[in-house]
Amino acid sequence: VQLVESGGGLVQAGGSLRLSCAASGRTFSSDAMGWFRQAPGKEREFAAAISWSGGMKYYADSVKGRFTISRDNAKNAVYLQMNSLKPEDTAVYYCVARSGARVGVEPNEYDYWGQGTQVTVSS
């Protein structure tokens, strides 16, 4: 099983980026997926998660109202639209998936992790 992120990069504060995650090796259409992030010198933290149908979405307070998570089960993919980016959003962003429908916000609730994509927001 592989989760491959793309779409990271360098952007100025106030700008936008769209992260994509393509899954292969198994289908996650019945499973929760999400995004975590890890800033330099900090612990990995929850950013957003989405139920198998896309009907339920959860966000960290720090990104609520600025980030939008979505998924396309036909493509076995999950996305993170990030708007109004701030320097404190600078981090490596990880795509995650679990074997199960329950949406979690803790790292240990997810079974599969991508390699991460760097997002850098300059002030």
pLDDT of residue 57: 98
- 8 A C-beta contact, residue 96 and residue 35: yes
pLDDT of residue 22: 98
pLDDT digits (tens, 9 = 90+) for 62-119: 999 999 999 999 999 999 999 999 999 999 999 999 999 999 999 999 999 999 999 9
pLDDT digits (tens, 9 = 90+) for 23-49: 999 999 999 999 999 999 999 999 999
Cα distance between residue 104 and residue 115, in whole Å: 20
User: Closest by alpha carbon to 11, among 107, 96, 72, 84?
Assistant: 84
pLDDT band for position 21 (cuts 50, 70, 90): very high
